[in-house]
Amino acid sequence: MEILSIVSAIFELIQMHLIGLKIKWGFVFGLLSCFGWLTYTFFTGSAFGILVICPVCIFLNIRNFILWSKDEEDTQAYDI
């Protein structure tokens, strides 16, 4: 299970890096990271604070991905 925590942490770092580069796919890595942390928590029975924060982060990652996509569409409409 330790490998799952390491992979989740790496995905979280990739997310932050991609968002910093203004690449919207960082939100997908954020989702993968949250699902990894949730799985880790369920199997290890530790880090219960993650059960509180991850559903919020999942919602925000999905919401921000959608908003970012809409912004891209609006920007492309003005690039005529």
Alpha carbon of 16 to those of 4, 10, 35, 67: distances in Å? 18, 10, 16, 17
What pLDDT was estimated at residue 64?
Answer: 93
What pLDDT was estimated at residue 78?
Answer: 66
Range of the domain at 32: 2-78
Instruction: Specify the number of domains making up the chain.
Output: 1
55, 44 contact by CB (below 8 A) = no
6, 37 contact by CB (below 8 A) = no
Tens place of pLDDT for every residue, the chain, 80 residues?
789 999 999 999 999 999 999 999 999 999 999 999 999 999 998 888 899 999 999 999 999 999 998 877 777 766 65
Alpha carbon of 17 to those of 21, 45, 47, 75, 79: distances in Å? 6, 30, 25, 23, 27
What pLDDT was estimated at residue 48?
Answer: 85
